[in-house]
Structure 1
């Protein structure tokens, strides 16, 4: 993760004429959430480029250069044309509040599209900017970079989920606007997680059956759990969104799973009767019948456990701990390893 560029000038090496804190074009692009091609285009069109180049014409961006680009990004996100934003950024010292663009109508592109992120990692801001621009290639690249740098669990909890939550809040506060941003971001996150290669399944381990409750279309959190379990070599049978109740029960009977994880985003899809019927499923010969552990995930279940041998999962990280302990034969008691539900939802 690239830290935010410092506001004070960093020490400069007189022999090289460039700050020790200067960044490459790729690092600046990741920080801003734009593509390197966009930075080169801005430099060519608007002369908003780096102050220094290393031998071989490699660009090196100083904190002052990056601050100008940040201002340009803020202005363009508010609907200011790029040419005007570049002039303002070049003519205003970094950190100055002198440039205050005129209010932009709510319907203008990007005029009120900034997502309410709050205190988050810089990667969230870059990802949010790219999603609002509907820049799918940049969103995909930023997601792959976050997963590679932080690992799936940390990336989900600290980058992917916070950005998804911000999109959801924006959508909720703006009626039907920005739905396209949520759909694009959700699809790209799903695709990025599907690119994570699972390990070979552990031998002699009963499978884990994962599914969304009937009628439940929000599958991203359980997709994250599927990918994380696959990284650990645990056998997973993932059935995705809105699995019909009869199909869920039949899949459990056929696979004899160690556990069934049932996701419900809302109370309307969290069916207590279905939970009890899944927990009651048996397989095997008489006298040696088995039952699945039922793990209820998602905010739709609240804090309740409506069926025997059921347990609530709260959070991706703690949910993984519960499942790994269950597979190892030392499952914690109900309610153990609890974390914030928001860390698992979207």
Structure 2
């Protein structure tokens, strides 16, 4: 093997898992900036030496701290590559510093702080997938976000991917946003967008049986004035995985529109999401729970499930209570199965 000793070198896949990036990202750095492996195995496969690994780690640290990729690559090559980075294919090679001179480090990179295992986000004790997802979000690496989110759904299923990968990362971004003024807004928006896209594509990622035709659905809606609908998208996807039909209305649904949907669809249950107490409406929940449809003598009503942190314990009195996504899926699946057994024929609009 040429270059570093075989026992000190690793493959691109191993290094990608260690850094929390995709192999495609590492190959892109090699192709665009000359930041790649220098050794080869006896079979001709490229291997990353300890110096190559140090360059890649520096690249991750600088980009996670906000440095542009081209500048981060130039600094990483300057610090670790033999010859000071003359092989970089995008940025010009830096001039060799004179005796005692300070290397020409870009201001953004020089002021950058270590990104940490989660790209500088306050993650705490979380799954390893959260750290890779956080690093991708901080770097605004959209293709990598898609790759990691889809992998989490495929490997763990909707409920675990949502509760143990997506939500902890979203909360970490939110905490960083709150403590950094207007910084990290773009990170939160990009991460939310890609989580939403992944949840909506869940039927393509997971095996699921289609619901029976004209089966009574579960209606999911945010209360009037509530704009946070990502949790409803997660619940919609998780119910779809179980074959439970849904009608998801999304954010800030007017009370009149919600009532019209309930009367027209005859749902098994209605989920009302409220993120804050100011948007949780107990009168609305009670009114929806009192809606009726069907023929005289066989009138039916929906089960209303208030969901979200906006509903305090007094507000939930008299309604089913769920502690998380998996609990909500179990409750709604049971209600759906019971309702289908009670009414084998579809209910007409009333």
Give yes or no for TM over 0.5: yes
Structure 1 vs Structure 2 CA RMSD: 3.3
Corresponding residue of 1:84 = 75
Q: Classify the secondary structure of the residue corresponding to 1:243.
A: coil
Can you list the C-alpha shifts for 1:188-241, whole angstroms capped at 9, x where unaligned?
A: 111111111153104674211111111111111110110011111111111111
Describe how 1:183-332 pairs up with structure 2 within 5 A: 183-197=189-203, 199-202=209-212, 205-306=215-316, 308=318, 310-329=319-338
Whole-Å separation in 1 of the counterparts to 2:39 and 2:257: 62
Cα deviation, residue 181, structure 1? 1.0
What does the per-residue CA deviation read over 1:58-116, in whole Å, with 9 as the maximum and x for residues that have no partner?
4455788656633441244334833323454669xxxxxxxxxx9x8799778887211
2:268–2:336 CA contact under 8 A, matched in 1:
yes
C-alpha distance in structure 1 between counterparts of 2:161 and 2:247, whole Å? 23
Q: In structure 2, what is the Cα distance between the partners aligned to 1:302 and 1:289?
A: 31
Task: Name which of 121, 124, 143 aligns with 1:118.
Answer: 124
Return closer, same or farther for 1:305/1:109 CA change in 2, 3 Å cut-off.
Answer: same
> In the superposition, relative to structure 1, how do residues 105 and 52 fare at CA in structure 2: closer, same or farther (>3 Å)?
closer
TM-score (norm 1): 0.76
Kept in 1, the 8 Å contact 2:72–2:109? The answer is: no
Q: Which sections of structure 2, spanning at least 5 residues, go unmatched?
A: 83-104, 340-350
> Counting helix residues as a fraction of each chain, which structure ranks higher?
2
Q: Secondary structure at the match of 1:123?
A: helix
The residue matched to 1:329 in structure 2 has which SS? helix
1:41–1:289 Cα change, 3 Å: closer
Separation of aligned partners in 2, 1:153 and 1:216: 23
Distance 1:64 1:206 in 2: 61
Q: What per-residue deviation string (whole Å, max 9, x for no partner) do you get for residues 278-304 of structure 1?
A: 111111122211111111111010233
- Is the radius of gyration larger for structure 1 or structure 2? 2
1:150-189 CA distances to partner (integer Å, 9 max, x unpaired)?
A: 2111111111111111111111112222111111111111
CA shift, 1:33, in A, is 4.2
CA distance in 2: counterparts of 1:319 and 1:122, whole angstroms: 26
Q: Is the 8 A contact 2:8 2:50 kept in 1?
A: no
Question: Per the alignment, in what secondary structure is the counterpart of residue 300 of structure 1?
Answer: coil
**TM-score in terms of structure 2 length:** 0.75
Residue number in structure 2 paired with 1:73: 60
Deviation, 1:122, is 2.2
SS at match of 1:117: coil
| Uncovered stretches (5+) of structure 1, i.e. residues with no partner | 1-16, 92-101, 331-346
